[in-house]
Amino acid sequence: MTTNLQENDVKRSSLRRAIVPGIAVLVLALSGCAAGNDTGGDTGTGSGSGDLSGTLNGGGSSAQESAQAAWRAGFQGANGDAVTVNYDPVGSGTGRENFISGAYLFAGSDSALSTDEGELDKATERCGGSPAIEVPAYVSPIAVVYNLQGVDDLQLSAPVIAQIFNGTITKWDDPLIAADNPDATLPDTTITPVHRSDDSGTTSNFTDYLEKAAEGKWADPHDGVWPLKGGEAGEGTSGLVAAVKAGDGTIGYADESQAGDLGVAKIKVGSEYNAPTAEGAAQVLAESPRTEGRDAVDMAIDVDRTATDSGAYPLMLTSYLIACQTYDKASDADLVKGYLSYVVSEEGQQAAADQAGSAPLDSSLQQEAAGIVEKIAAK
């Protein structure tokens, strides 16, 4: 695993790039991709000499927004302007809903299709009986972001984070926070937790972490919808970050690439307090098991939230691309296959890493994802 990380050069924590401004829709002009061609399983650029035209509509994960901009630039630079791809960062839950309804040809989601809520069966029905594919495309740490005057360095354990967000801990100088920060001077400022107001894959991953790592201090099962009533909320990643920035004593959670100039807490992992890094997130992902009971074209992963290896960062998200294995129209199949081929290629993964600070997929995961995308075809 370590060798794979080195091969992929997943050392991005010091190479964060400027974040692309939030926009409602990313319009990606692309063309000439080899989507409909037999590439022989090529996992390089995902582009080639095929002729494509038309519009590809997708959307979902707002955490993917910056990466989607990088994929836009790379694919457009390689392929011209005969194809328009629209990606709307409306949140993972809405993205999955719009894919299932047929409004989107593909979706981005920070959590896999749910079996408990019937999403997986509905996606299969939407795909005409063929299984929906789910491939990881974006791997990133989730940062616990905060805005607290005079505190530039903060350490928090999972049980303390849980008690902050469930309202048990209400002041920044609480003894439990002080125990994690013996050298810090903490003010008696009231804590204002901020959560996502929309159905969010980031929320699902954050609450999954609290459920599994907080030693019983978090009572609710993980969910993309914030399980507690009241409190401050922001829509989308940008909305949550803006709400945290707007007050003193605020704390929230967001894709680390969009933390900006907010404070970012280190979380306790084993006996260490680790800052969020792409390398630490990729380390956890590579060692996590697959979700049981899934089809061969479904790469859903159960993230190990209790990892304790040195450098690991288990508060992270694996953001997927969701699509059909078969489409009624050959033109739709070609467009989806072409774009997703680029996204999961080595070139596409590196573009997202450079732009958004995400971790490129481990080489074995990348090759598996590329092979699954290669199966996309018309009925």
Binding site, annotated residues for phosphate: 61-63, 92, 110, 200-202
* 300 token code pair: 């859903």
- Residue 343 — φ and ψ, nearest 5°? -60, -45
Binding residues: 61-63, 92, 110, 200-202
Q: How many CA atoms lie within 13 A of 21 on its CB side?
A: 1
* 336 token code pair: 């989806």
Beta bridge mates, 346? none
* 109 token code pair: 């989601």
Q: Contact, 43 vs 86, CB < 8 A?
A: no
Alpha helices in the chain (DSSP H): 2-8, 65-79, 92-101, 119-126, 158-165, 175-180, 201-213, 236-245, 278-287, 330-344, 346-356, 363-373
The full length of the chain comes to: 379
